[in-house]
Amino acid sequence: MLRTPPFFPSISLPHPYQFQSQRFSVKMSATSIAQQVKKVVGEAVEGKPPAHPTYDLKGVIKLALSEDAADIGDVTCKATIPVDMEVEAYFLAKEDGIVAGIALADMVFGEVDTSLKVEWTRNDGDKVHKGLQFGKVHGKAHSIVVAERVVLNFMQRMSGIATLTKAMAEAAHPACILETRKTAPGLRLVDKWAVLIGGGRNHRMGLFDMVLVKDNHISIAGGVTRALESVDHYLAQNNLQMDVEIETRTLEEVREVLQYASQTKTSLTRIMLDNMIVPLSDGDVDVSMVREAVDFIGGRFETEASGNVTLETVHKIGQSGVTYISSGALTHSVKALDISLKIDTELALEVGRRTKRA
C-alpha cells in the first residue's frame, strides 16, 4: 500500500529542525478526561495512538528530529550526497517479531518531507521474519537519511514492546495483559501505543484518568478503609466519576476492602493483588494466594495481579482467575527489535548473513 506521509499544518520550523519547546495544554474537566481516555483504553484503533488530553505527539517527533540534526543539519549528507538526488530505501527485519511504529514512521517522514512516498507490505501488529523486506520509501536522499535514525528508533522500540506484549498476552489468556506507568520519560503515549498494537490493553494513562490507591497512599491515609473513605468523599464532593482501584498486599487487606464495600456505597471498581505471586526456588511460582483472593472477591470487582510477572510465569497467573495481569517489564525492560533501512539491500543482506542477523 502506498502512503504519502501525513502533513501537519501547524507551526513550520526552519529546516533542519530547530525545535522550540512550546507549552501545550487542553482544558478539560477530570471527568471528561477520564471518560475520553476510557473510550479507547484496551482497544487499539488502527493507525491511531491512545487518547491523552495534553500529549503533543507531533512535538515529540520534532524534538527527536531536532536532537539529531540540531540547527545545523546532517553535515555528512551535505558533504556526500547531491541535494537533488532521489533514492529508494527498504525496511529490512533482522529478526522475527511483531512490527509496530509504521503509522508513527509515516508521521516522521511527513514531518521531514511531505514529498516522500512510503509503501508498506505489512501493517502495525503483523508478524515479520528475519530477512523480510516489509516497506520502502522513495524520494530525496537527504530527507530519507535525515529521517532514518528517528524512524528506526521509534519502530525498533515499539516493535520490541509489541513483540513481548504479543507473547505475554497469548500466554496470559483468559486474563488480559496490561502495562504500567513505567515507560520511557516523554514516550508514555508511544510505549502504550505499542502495547495496544501487540494485543495488550492499557492501564491508566497517567495520574489524571484513574484513582489508583497504592501502598504509600494507604500508609499516609492510615489504612485501607480510611483511604477508600477519602477517595469516595473526594469524588462525591467534586462530582467526579472515574474508575477506582486499590492495591492490597495481604488477604487481610482484601477482606478489609470487601468489608468496607459491603457497608458503604463506593466507587471502587478493581482490586490489585500485589506481590501475592510467590516465586519458588525452581523458577516456578505459587499462585495459591491469588486464587484465594479471587475466590474471596467472587466477581464483585475486577482483579489485577502484579509482581513476579514474566513470560515464564504469566500463563500460570492467567489461570488463577484474575481479570488483569500488569507487567512493568513490557515497557521498562524492552529489547528493541532489530530493523534497518537500507538503500543497497543486497549488500545489507550479505553482511547480515555473515553476522547471523539476516
Query: Which residues have a catalytic role annotated?
Result: 149, 182, 214, 245, 274
Torsion of CA 205, 208, 212, 213, to 10 degrees: 150
Query: In 3D, which of 336, 337, 339 has the Cα closest to residue 133?
Result: 339
Q: Which three cell numbers stand for residue 80?
A: 556526500
- Find the DSSP H helices in 41-187: 57-69, 75-80, 102-112, 141-172
Distance of CA 79 to the CA centre of its chain: 38
Please provide residue 268's backbone torsions phi and psi, each rounded to the nearest 5 degrees.
Answer: -60, 135
Contacts of 157 (CB under 8 A, 6+ apart): 101, 184, 187, 190, 191, 194, 334, 336
Q: Which three cell numbers stand for residue 179?
A: 502495562
Burial class (CB in 10 A: 0-12, 13-18, 19+), 305: buried
Place of cell 547471523: 356
Angle between helices 288-297 and 251-263 (to 10 degrees): 10
Sheet holding 86-93, edge to edge: 2-3, 117-120, 133-140, 86-93, 339-342
Q: Which residues pair with 242 in a beta bridge?
A: none
Q: Where are the beta strands (DSSP E) in the chain?
A: 2-3, 86-93, 97-98, 117-120, 127-128, 133-140, 176-178, 211-213, 244-248, 268-274, 278-279, 285-286, 302-306, 324-326, 339-342
Angle between helices 251-263 and 224-237 (to 10 degrees): 40
